[in-house]
Structure 1
Amino acid sequence: MNKNSSNVALGDRTSQIEQDAQERILANLAATLDRTLPVPLGVQLRGLIEFGIGFGELVPGQKLPSVRELAERAGIAPMTVATVYQDLRKSGLIKAKPGAGTYVNDGHTRDGLRSTSMRKIQRRIDALFNEAEEMGLSPTVVSSLVNARAARGRSPSRPMHLVIVGHFLDTTQQYADRIREYLGPNDSIAVTTLSALQAGKPLPQPCDLCATFPHRRSDVESLIPPGTPIVNLNFIPAEETRAQLAVIDPMARIGVVSIFPEFMAFMRPGVLRFTPHVSDVEVRLITDPDLTEFLQSLDVLVYASGAEPLLKDLPAGRQAIEFRYVPDPHAVRQVLVPEIERLRSAPLATKEEIE
């Protein structure tokens, strides 16, 4: 086989892998929509995509089904899918490539972290050469000074101050505790909630970098000081949660309670993924009027983080499992830590640049 034939074969295999991935996404989205839930299908669809992005099932650069494909497979109106995609584009979670389709965003395009940084550096370089010219120094001399500085390597690093924005203070603090081990000894990390910011409370400390859920990014962006860099936090189910689900009695009646309507459709397959020996589970929203009666009928309750108050209504002797998520360590190492180090080594902004 010649080189050209090998390249064609490789291209065919790559194309087939991409098609298979798109088909899996299409099938999963269509199959997971649950018409028995008291939540509009459009709200469910948006929640499924948001959750998929936030929890690493839809990775940056992944192509999403077209509006027509998803509408036909899921049996919903194309306008419903189009509206969901439009909302997700506005929030920066997905992006449309003209003539190519719709893709999961990389988390940096929306605020232009890289391009903004490059423009700042370019302005500093221009100012440096202009100042040198006024002092009678040639561009060659300035270039030599810059090269000599680059050869010395990085300057001593400065401490970084992170703020994590979540839904509930206790669980957000748990996220921060997990992330802390990746930080430097002089770095600090503090937590707050979206509701606290919406109530007008300030950030708990000076913030060099803010981290939050992908689907809450645009909300947080509007509530923190302009220009504050933001990164997406991705999550995976906690090991303890997976272990507890795996040993549930297959004959037990299992109920799931969600806090947010848009994530109800996601929680059922999320539980069943780790309980393959269980045939089905029932899902309720924490605000359902029949919640107390529902809890009394269960052998095992699986509840979303933040729903702890409902445990007081769970009969004694019944098992309760928090469906807890933790920051994805791979995403922390590959996205969060590099962004921290980039900001750590960047020059401090001047007053003029901040304004």
Structure 2
Amino acid sequence: MRRGEDMRIQIDRDLPVPVTTQIQGQIEYGVSNGDFPSGSRLPSVRDLALDLGVSPVTVSQVYRNLQAKGLIATVQGTGTFVQSLAADDASRSGTSRVDELLRRALVTAEREGVSRAASLERFQHLVAQNHHGTPLRMVFVGVYSHVTHAYVADLRRHLRPSDTLSATTFDVLASDAAARAEIEAADLVLTFAHRVTELRPNVPPSVEVATVNLLPSERTRVALAEIDPLARLVIISAIPEFLPTFRRAVARFASHVESVHAALHGTPDAREALARADVVVYGTGSETVLDGLPSHVRSFEYRHVPDPIHVERVLLPMIARLRETRSRPPRAQEVR
């Protein structure tokens, strides 16, 4: 799902997932994929409870859980908002300042009789001269190793060849001293918005933490669109809080399929559904669902990729600001 589209929180009574988990999961994953951008306002406890037909106590508990994770904040008398990361705010602010400076430079150049084409050529020359700025050391901390490496491979396309971006997971970080040392030596650590609070104690205060938004990959969207409308589709997730978001995403990209059953990996319900399935779509972490699956059953993993818009508008400007800071001579830093 993209920003601004279908942001309404819903409850699916047919899912084998508690209501509290459904609500919390939709907000957490909504923050991670940009459906709930930093600073966006969430419904009040009373309004959301009324909309979903649940007790205000249930919604209040979800909001307390999300506040404890650092994902949302309640401002007395104003409302509840998605928490903004300082790094993201600085990136947006920095981008605005750069835009203004570039506009002023263009106006000044025109007053001096320099055409815009000549200004652009000169700017490109200056960028090329500064191409070999200070290399940055970055680490992406994910959940599952193989997809984390895939995210890193995608993000590397946007970085300079001299930059390093490595991949690790929360599990590895908890048990591997070398992984923790790599974090301590990094200039920037990347993760998902709903895992920042969990990651932050493992990162020195001097090292910035930034988030990466995700969206369903093109291959996943195309595969969902190609499913036979008459097929019996089964979706499997190993993560209960992800199942409602998973179900809604599949409904969006495979809206033409009438028979869709969502289940948690490893449960009796999942085994019964798989026995009748024509197509199986499984979330990351549920790969063993393929064991024993008949050869005639089509299956594929529901995969995400880093959101290129978020990378372009938020992450890269933040990296540019960080590179400038790291490139500044020590004395200049002290003066500042």
TM-score (norm 1): 0.75
Alpha-carbon separation, structure 2, partners of 1:43 and 1:349: 49
Tell me the equivalent position of 1:175: 151
Alpha-carbon separation, structure 1, partners of 2:224 and 2:59: 33
Alpha-carbon separation, structure 1, partners of 2:75 and 2:232: 46
Describe the shift of the 1:35–1:185 C-alpha distance in structure 2 as closer, same or farther (beyond 3 A). Answer: same
Tell me the equivalent position of 1:220: 199
Equivalent position to 1:90, from 68, 76, 89? 68
Q: Relative contact order: is structure 1 or structure 2 higher (C-alpha 8 Å, sep ≥ 6)?
A: 2
Equivalent position to 2:36, from 58, 64, 68? 58
Number of aligned residue pairs: 288
Alpha-carbon separation, structure 2, partners of 1:35 and 1:243: 28
Describe the shift of the 1:288–1:186 C-alpha distance in structure 2 as closer, same or farther (beyond 3 A). Answer: same
Deviation track 1:165-207 (CA, whole Å, cap 9, x = no partner) reads: 1111110000001100111110001000111123354247331
Deviation track 1:298-336 (CA, whole Å, cap 9, x = no partner) reads: 000011123222212211111002111100001111121
Q: Is the 8 A contact 1:92 1:107 kept in 2?
A: no
> Percent identical across equivalent pairs?
38
Q: Is the 8 A contact 1:164 1:176 kept in 2?
A: yes
Equivalent position to 2:323, from 344, 352, 355? 344
Deviates more, 1:274-283 or 1:68-77: 274-283
Alpha-carbon separation, structure 1, partners of 2:176 and 2:89: 26
Q: Is the 8 A contact 2:263 2:269 kept in 1?
A: no
Describe the shift of the 1:70–1:332 C-alpha distance in structure 2 as closer, same or farther (beyond 3 A). Answer: same
Equivalent position to 1:327, from 302, 306, 320? 306
Deviation track 1:228-280 (CA, whole Å, cap 9, x = no partner) reads: 21111101110011111101101000000011111111111110100121124
Describe the shift of the 1:184–1:155 C-alpha distance in structure 2 as closer, same or farther (beyond 3 A). Answer: closer
Equivalent position to 1:157, from 130, 133, 137? 133
Describe the shift of the 1:349–1:165 C-alpha distance in structure 2 as closer, same or farther (beyond 3 A). Answer: farther
Tell me the equivalent position of 1:185: 161
Q: Is the 8 A contact 1:272 1:280 kept in 2?
A: no
Tell me the equivalent position of 1:250: 229
Alpha-carbon separation, structure 1, partners of 2:131 and 2:168: 31
Alpha-carbon separation, structure 1, partners of 2:14 and 2:274: 19
Tell me the equivalent position of 1:264: 243
Q: Is the 8 A contact 1:155 1:345 kept in 2?
A: no
Q: Is the 8 A contact 1:171 1:306 kept in 2?
A: no
Deviates more, 1:316-325 or 1:197-206: 197-206
Letter in structure 1 aligned against 2:38:
P
Alpha-carbon separation, structure 2, partners of 1:309 and 1:203: 30
Tell me the equivalent position of 1:121: none
SS in 1 for 2:30: helix
Q: Give 1:349 deviation, angstroms.
A: 11
Q: Is the 8 A contact 1:58 1:104 kept in 2?
A: yes
* Pairs within 5 Å for 1:124-135: none
Q: Give 1:154 deviation, angstroms.
A: 7.5
Alpha-carbon separation, structure 1, partners of 2:59 and 2:304: 28
Q: Is the 8 A contact 1:180 1:189 kept in 2?
A: yes
Letter in structure 1 aligned against 2:66:
L
Equivalent position to 1:238, from 217, 221, 225? 217
RMSD between aligned residues? 2.6
Q: Give 1:155 deviation, angstroms.
A: 10
Q: Is the 8 A contact 1:304 1:323 kept in 2?
A: yes
Equivalent position to 1:297, from 261, 276, 294? 276
SS in 2 for 1:34: coil
SS in 1 for 2:84: coil
Q: Is the 8 A contact 1:46 1:84 kept in 2?
A: yes
Alpha-carbon separation, structure 2, partners of 1:40 and 1:108: 33
Q: Is the 8 A contact 1:164 1:192 kept in 2?
A: yes
Describe the shift of the 1:314–1:204 C-alpha distance in structure 2 as closer, same or farther (beyond 3 A). Answer: farther
Alpha-carbon separation, structure 2, partners of 1:38 and 1:252: 22
Q: Does residue 1:102 correspond to 2:86, yes or no?
A: no
SS in 2 for 1:36: coil
SS in 2 for 1:346: helix
Deviation track 1:273-294 (CA, whole Å, cap 9, x = no partner) reads: 0012112411111131343343
Letter in structure 1 aligned against 2:56:
P
